[in-house]
Structure 1
Amino acid sequence: MVLFNSLYMDAAVKQLAADGFPVTDDLLARLSPLQYDHINFLGRYAFTRPAAPGLRRLRDPHTDDDDGGRD
């Protein structure tokens, strides 16, 4: 889960920088893939291989679409 979060956080930071958001070292120092409530460290997880390799699309913050970038 930490690797999964890290990959998506990296993609989100790169997208923010490409969109002109000032991504500073101070902001990056505050990021952690462990700060998310959706990680259940005591639970079980089932992972399935996606149909196509790569990351899902990031959610567009300018829309009401809240499906997490799922197609």
Structure 2
Amino acid sequence: MPVEFLTDEQAEAYGAFREVPTRPELERFFFLDDDDRDLIALHRTDGHRLGMAMQICTVRYVGRFLGEGPLAVPWEVVEYLAGQLRIADASCVKRYGERRSTVYEHANEIQERFRYSGLHRPQVGPGVP
């Protein structure tokens, strides 16, 4: 017999941005380090580089890729990342999801690069393939 342990409101908020991250949260979860930048640099357009950065940081902050799409982030996050990438027009990210498979391809790259795994691949300890 299934038991619901989350309210409807909690379930709706799971894996999503509930509010704009604070400045300390931006600095902690949305700072692009060298590993992030190396992966981002593999992409040509500003929109793809910014979209990739948003996905990398969203996974770090929220704990998963966004179910409603990678663009469902507060604009302050987009601008913070665009500033780090020296992208003058952050609105270029609006074109990121035009080719839906790009979003999934980038998510796969992120999972492989940073060795993220989902619940479908449980790990019991360090070094377990």
TM range (shorter): 0.3 to 0.5
Q: Which of the two has greater helix per residue? A: 2
Give TM-score, length-normalised by structure 1.
0.36
Give TM-score scaled by structure 2 length: 0.23
